[in-house]
Amino acid sequence: MSNSTISYIWPWEDPTPAEIERWLEEEVGPAFDAVEADPTRAISVDDAFDRLRALHAACVVAGK
């Protein structure tokens, strides 16, 4: 498994139940398993919100 994070934006406009199921099985499940196996991979809630705030600020600046 790579060190990349789970996609935070749906890669499609209106996901079908099959697309959501695939996303859960192929991305969310393995990411959860990796953190469960090695909890040091996780970040704190504060760090997560800091990253979201920075992402939001960058999107605002970019006009997205």
* Residue 28, in any domain of the structure: yes
* b/e 40-53 (16+ beta carbons within 10 angstroms → b): eeeeeeeeeeeeee
**3 in a structural domain:** no
Is position 51 within any domain? yes
pTM: 0.55
The one-letter amino acid code at 55 reads L
| Residue 10 covered by a domain | no
Q: Is residue 6 predicted with pLDDT exceeding 60?
A: no
Question: Is 52 a member of any domain?
Answer: yes
pLDDT confidence tier of residue 58, bands split at 50, 70 and 90: very high
The domain of 41 spans: 17-62
Which tens digit of pLDDT belongs to each residue from 25-40?
Answer: 999 999 999 999 999 9
Within a domain: 25 = yes
Q: How many domains does the chain have?
A: 1
